[in-house]
Amino acid sequence: MSLVGSAAVLDGAFDSIPVIDIGDTFTPERKAALAHEIRNACMNVGFFYVTGHGIPQETIDNLLAVMEVYFSLPLETKMKLFHREFGSSCRGYAPLLDSNVDPANRGDLHEAFAAGLEELLPKENDEKGANDSGMAGANVWPSEPAGFREACLNYCHAATGVGKLLFRLFALALDLPETYFEDKSKNSATVMRTIHYPPQTGPISDDIVGVGAHSDAQCFTMLWQQPGIQALQVLNSKKQWIDATPIPGTLVINIGDQLARWTNDIFRSTVHRATSNTGVPRYSVPLFFGTDYHVPIEAIPSCVSADRPPKYESITAGDYLHKRLQEAYGSTRPS
Ligand SMILES: O=C(O)CCC(=O)C(=O)O
Ligand SMILES: [Fe+2]
């Protein structure tokens, strides 16, 4: 069935999130079968877990270990890299209640540290800062704990490899050449956020939650979430919150608003939130994958028909992201 035809029958009334093994992409047949599974997940749910992603457990364990130490540092130490000093929420430290993605919320009850992809051995002339424009710029790194930068970058490099594979599978899922997104995401605006949610107890309140109901702004997100702690929930078309229970060894992938725009909403950018009242801290690590700053986001022809005309105006990825970050960080009411 055509993409537009399939979209008409899938209604987003899911009650579970599919698990897809991406470990075997060695033959064109296997890739095509995987792309089909991914297409269904993106059209009906907008979320799926992946197994077989190949990120070594040691890389994840090392990252969690440095995150725990980093977030336990005194606030004034972390505030030395306050992201508002650099004018980019994609770099540096964001304290509790700094962002607010849901206007009905009082602020997002988490603190985070953000960085982009860079080589482990810093280059003398880093082209990234020059090329990424407002989306990124050079990273900033805390001087403690030792090994923080290496642990973050090791994870970021491994996860970016998975992201590149997913971009290829998304292209196949959209009946496009496998490399469709490759030249559009060369200098990709990958942003990694390490997040700490402090312990919250009592009933879940919509007034102050870990991260309020939102959809993600970039093309797609790859999330590592701490095993054993339920927090992430995904909204279906019946307005029910479906738990995205952590499954050890998996990553959670979700479509963001830019890919929804590319696909004329055939791929769903599904609203989600994270909140936990377990009384223990929680850590998670989303990586947001986008295209390069000047790439125009406009409906892919296979996602358009006479019955489904383009829903969105063309906008560059950079301008779009800039607007969304203003909304999330500009409307913060810190108390
Ligand atoms: O921490 C989580 O489980 C989700 C985080 C999230 O949705 C985000 O950062 O966009
Ligand atoms: Fe999100």
Using one digit for the tens of pLDDT, what is the confidence trace for 188-216? 678 999 999 998 766 666 667 889 899 99
| Residue 273 is assigned to a structural domain of this protein | yes
Give the tens place of pLDDT for each residue, 3-25: 888 887 788 899 999 999 999 98
Q: Is the CB of 253 under 6 A from ligand 1?
A: no
Cβ atoms of residues 171 and 31 within 8 Å: no
Q: Is the CB of 114 under 6 A from ligand 1?
A: no
Angle at 215 between CA 171 and CA 60, to 5 degrees: 75
> How far is the C-alpha of 45 from the C-alpha of 55, rounded, in Å?
24
Considering 11-15, 41-45, 130-134, 272-276, the range whose residues carry the highest mean pLDDT is 41-45
Three-state SS for 24? coil
pLDDT value for 81: 93
**CB within 8 Å of 87: residues ≥ 6 apart:** none
Tokens (6 digits) for 34: 């995987």
Q: How many folded domains does the chain comprise? A: 1
Q: What pLDDT was estimated at residue 123? A: 58
Among 196, 232, 252, which residue has the most ligand 1 atoms within 8 Å of its CB, making it the best to mutate? 232
Q: Residue 170's closest CA among 180, 183, 159, 160? A: 180
The count of other CB atoms within 10 Å of the CB of residue 180 is 18
Q: How far apart are CA 287 and CA 267, in angstroms?
A: 19
Average pLDDT over residues 246-256: 98
- The SS3 assignment for 261 reads helix
Does the C-beta of 154 come closer than 6 Å to ligand 1? no
Euclidean distance between CA atoms 98 and 214, whole angstroms: 15
- pLDDT tens profile 78-127: 999 998 887 677 889 999 888 888 877 777 889 999 998 888 876 555 55
For CA atoms 168, 173, 177, 183, give the dihedral sign: negative
Q: pLDDT tens digits for 262-306?
A: 999 999 999 999 988 788 999 999 999 999 888 999 999 999 999
Output the domain CATH number for residue 171: 2.60.120.330
| Any domain includes 130 | no
Strand (E) positions, 75-164?
A: 92-94, 111-116
Return the ligand 1 atom nearest residue 232 CA: 3
Could you give the angle at the alpha carbon of 162 between the alpha carbons of 161 and 163, nearest 5°? 90
In the chain, DSSP assigns E strands to: 19-21, 47-51, 92-94, 111-116, 191-197, 211-214, 220-225, 232-235, 241-243, 251-255, 272-274, 282-289, 296-297, 315-316
| Enclosing domain of residue 321 | 3-122+135-330
Number of H helices, E strands in the chain: 8, 14
Q: In this structure, which residue's CA is closest to atom 8 in ligand 1? A: 286
Neighbouring CB atoms inside 10 A of 188's CB total 28
Which ligand has an atom closest to residue 285 CA?
Answer: 1
129 lies in a domain?
no
The reply to whether 275 falls in a domain is: yes
Q: Is residue 128 part of a domain?
A: no
81 within domain boundaries: yes
Instruction: Tell which atom from ligand 1 comes closest to the C-alpha of 286.
Output: 9
Ligand 1 atom closest to the CA of 273, numbered from 1? 7
Instruction: Give 125 Cα–ligand 2 centroid separation in angstroms.
Output: 33
**What is the chain's mean pLDDT, rounded?**
89
Written as six digits, the tokens of 249 are 């060894």
Yes or no: say if 187 and 290 are a contact pair by the CB < 8 Å rule: no
Token representation of residue 223? 């999330």
Contact 29, 59 (CB under 8 A): no
- Ligand 1 touching residue 94 (CB < 6 A): no
Q: Decide: 163 in ligand 1 pocket, CB within 6 A.
A: no
The stretch 49-69 carries a mean pLDDT of 98
Q: Is 225 in the pocket of ligand 1 (CB under 6 A)?
A: yes
Please report whether residue 127 resides in a domain: no
CA of 280 to the centre of ligand 2 (A): 21
Q: Whose CA is nearest to atom 7 of ligand 1?
A: 273
* Residue 163 within a domain: yes
Contact 286, 251 (CB under 8 A): no
Ligand 1 pocket, residue 246 CB under 6 Å: no
Task: Judge whether residue 131 has pLDDT over 50.
Answer: no
Q: How far apart are CA 257 and CA 20, in angstroms?
A: 22
Average pLDDT over residues 163-179: 96
Tokens of 142: 């805390």
Verify whether ligand 1 is closer than 6 Å to residue 272 (CB atom).
yes
Residue 236 corresponds to which tokens in the numbers above? 């279906």
Residues 6+ apart with CB under 8 A from 82: 92, 93, 94, 95
How much distance in Å is there from the Cα of 273 to the middle of ligand 2?
A: 7
Prediction pTM value:
0.93
